[in-house]
Amino acid sequence: MSIPEFNEIIEPNDQTEARREHLEKLRDLIGDVYPNKYRREVIQDGQTIIPDQQATITNVTRFARPIKDKHISELLEGEKPSDEQRNAANAELNGYRVRVAGRLAVPPRVMGKAAFVHLSDGIERLQIYVRKQDAKAVNNDTGETIDDEGAAWEIFGLLDHGDFIGVEGFLFVTKTGELSVHVETIQFLSKARFPMPDKMHGISDPELQRRYRYADLIASSLQVEHEGLTTRQVFERRAKLISGMRRFLDDAGFIEVETPMLTPKATGAAAKPFKTHHNALDIDLYARIAPELYLKRLTVGGFEKVYELNRNFRNEGLSQKHNPEFTMLEFYCAYMDVNGMMDFAEAMIKESVQKATGGSLQVKYGENEIDFSNFGRISMKEAIVNNFPIDRMKLFKPEWLEDELHIMALAMFSDPQFAYANDGLHKLNIDGTREFLPMSEKELSKIPKIMFDSLSSEPNFFELEELWNNSFNLQKERYNNGSRQPQVGIDNQIEKIFENIVEKKLIQPTFIIDYPKSISPLSKASPENPNIAERFELFINGMECANGFSELNDPQEQYERFADQMWSREAGDEEAMVLDEDYIRALAYGMPPAAGIGIGIDRLVMLLTNRHSIRDVILFPHMRPEKNKNAEKTEDAPENQTTT
């Protein structure tokens, strides 16, 4: 077996070697340099007033600060409290003995035979004052204080930025007015073998932030100045959002359940799954792409209000909005329809956003301000008509959305078009914007020749008209040659037109309704129009954040919808749903009218924290493996060249 050496993981350099030497000297002085525990507390008159697990640096500072502020009013920069103010504050603060522990937030500042340093618990900081003649050290093997004079001072001199220590002493205010602990006992708890990140800038490389989230959390907590939320605050806000949603559902009578993460069929959504094999049962299993069909089985079984908040997995591409592992909230309510579900979801999101943000329904996201106090509703086709670029309207008639040939041509036309200009290939978007594309000959060969058109430096209506004519004529030729689309194919193209033209313009919370039925295989049809599904999707800042519908509960119709999906799968659509026989069997026992919804938690968190990549709101996102920096040369490798 070949495993890397410790020194290959913790690469030796001047700083890591100095820390290793300090660790060895500490071991000689105090014994165990990684003790099992440290008791924290705040004591007044011999009584514990803040017990161990609550006596964090954050809680201690928030407890003591009002006492200090009672005697010392807010100071201006550079201003010091008067002796009278300081003495009054200390007369009260000295009565509190504290035992606190944390990470050295800055390198120690030694001034002769005394030193100041800040301890951090990742949220707040508390200054400690160590004086050589006052402090005692703890032997970690015996738990007793070390009698040798100067032992604590020697131990303090071996501390490095980032180490963990515990201190006992009394509270006081310094001459500059800072709340501090006068240390009487110091205990070493853990050594940081790596140097800490830059306190001014933290970790600026997004890839390093995501790959080494633990270092990112440390860096953002130690960073002096921040723009926006710290990394910790992002994930605290995430936790508050999730907690708020759970509380809203629990208060409404919903029951939280857990359904299988490994399933015999990849059902419940249109997506490509991860596949594995169960050796004992000798069956293939799939990491679930959605819990939907299991939750609806529970509705059949009598759970009228049911929800699950857990991970889903989809073996698809990575993007700013997509991660193969993501968090989804799904819930179902019997005797409710799609309109009731939109009302309920809107109320839940509003309340949860307020709890997560501390009361606000307005959040800043990039250059936009998102207002969660108002949710719009509009049909898919109306949204296309309303958002078709105004200066291109001469090329478009709303009735085309009812005609197969025009729908197919519009889908091609609404795609980014490729065209030649004097300086090379450009991508021309339907809104008239254009991007230069440096491409190889091989890449160029993959682009349909129909899209190769001459493009002037300033695209104009006539060039767009020519591109439209190209699209229409190509589709007309296919149409006349007998290449017709099934209904699901036509409806897929309507959705494509919507995605290309509308999605990015939906900045404020908007429910898109009236989806084509053929692309909504688990949704009931509208009573008014059998070709329309009672389905909605919620879009915010151009991102789909939720998907819901009136649930189809007719087993015969559900079977026929699955059959249509299987035909699409046979035609090459890998993401089309598979037939789930047991789900059909469950529906045959009878399911009440119901509505359901799936909400993407990660995307909502992105919006509430002003983060523009989904991987910035997932603690440990999937990353490509790092290249092996220490790869050995192979027999075939040239001299002075290593393989990676």
pLDDT in tens, 195-213: 998 776 778 899 999 999 9
Highest-confidence range of 367-371, 469-473, 481-485, by mean pLDDT? 367-371
Over residues 52-57, mean pLDDT: 94
β-strand partners of 102? 165
pLDDT band at 373 (very low <50, low <70, confident <90, very high): very high
Q: Which segment of 168-172, 466-470, 478-482 scores lowest on mean pLDDT?
A: 466-470
Residue 593 per-residue DSSP state: -
Beta bridge partners of 578: none
Mean pLDDT is lowest, of 103-112, 235-244, 281-290, for 103-112
Reported confidence tier of residue 75, pLDDT bands at 50, 70, 90: confident
Helices 83-93 and 57-71: crossing angle in degrees, nearest 10, is 140
Does 640 score more than 70 pLDDT?
Answer: no
Under CATH, what is the fold of the domain 13-190? OB fold (Dihydrolipoamide Acetyltransferase, E2P) (2.40.50)
The strand pair at 179-190 and 125-131 is best described as parallel
The answer to pTM > 0.85 is yes
Residue 644, pLDDT > 90, answer no
Which residue did the predictor score with more confidence, 104 or 496?
104
| Residue 454: pLDDT over 50 | no
Does residue 176 have a pLDDT over 90? Answer: yes
Break the chain into its structural domains and give their ranges: 13-190, 232-259+288-375+509-616, 386-486
Run of H or E residues at 318: none
Least confident of 157-171, 285-299, 457-471, 495-509: 457-471
Q: Please give the pLDDT value at position 543.
A: 96
pLDDT at 2 over 80: yes
> Residue 425's pLDDT band (boundaries 50, 70, 90)?
low
Q: Which of 277-286, 287-296, 362-371, 631-640 has the lowest mean pLDDT?
A: 631-640
Higher pLDDT among residues 414 and 305, named by residue? 305
DSSP, collapsed to helix, strand or coil, labels residue 126 as: strand
Full DSSP string of 470-507: HHHHHHHHHHHTT----HHHHHHHHHHHHHHHTGGG--
How much is the mean pLDDT over the chain? 87
13-190 and 232-259+288-375+509-616: identical CATH topology: no
Helix (H, G, I), strand (E, B) or coil at 162: coil
The SS3 call for residue 99 is: strand
**pLDDT, greater one: 267 or 346:** 346
pLDDT of amino acid 98 = 97
Average pLDDT over residues 602-614: 97
Per the model's pLDDT, the better-predicted residue between 553 and 199 turns out to be 553
Dihedrals phi, psi of 313, to nearest 5 degrees? -135, 130
Segment among 33-37, 41-45, 92-96, 425-429 with least mean pLDDT: 425-429
Mean pLDDT, residues 225-238 taken together: 91
Q: Look at residue 628 in the predicted model and tell me its pLDDT.
A: 59
Does 601 score more than 50 pLDDT? Answer: yes
| Span 470-488, average pLDDT | 76
Task: Return the pLDDT at 463.
Answer: 61
Distance CA 259, CA 297 (A): 10
Is residue 389 within 8 Å of 423, Cβ to Cβ? no
Residue scoring higher pLDDT (441 or 542): 542
pLDDT tens digits, 251-276:
999 999 999 999 998 888 778 899 99
Residues 6+ apart with CB under 8 A from 425: 418, 419, 436, 437, 439, 444, 447
* pLDDT above 70 coverage of the chain, percent: 88
What pLDDT is attached to residue 637?
Answer: 34
Average the pLDDT over 595-615 and give the result: 97
Sheet holding 417-421, edge to edge: 417-421, 424-428, 434-436
Q: Which CATH architecture has domain 232-259+288-375+509-616?
A: 2-Layer Sandwich (3.30)
Q: What is the pLDDT of residue 450?
A: 38
- When pLDDT is cut at 50, 70 and 90, the band that residue 391 belongs to is low
β partners of residue 333: 305, 595
Confidence of residue 247 (pLDDT cuts 50, 70, 90): very high
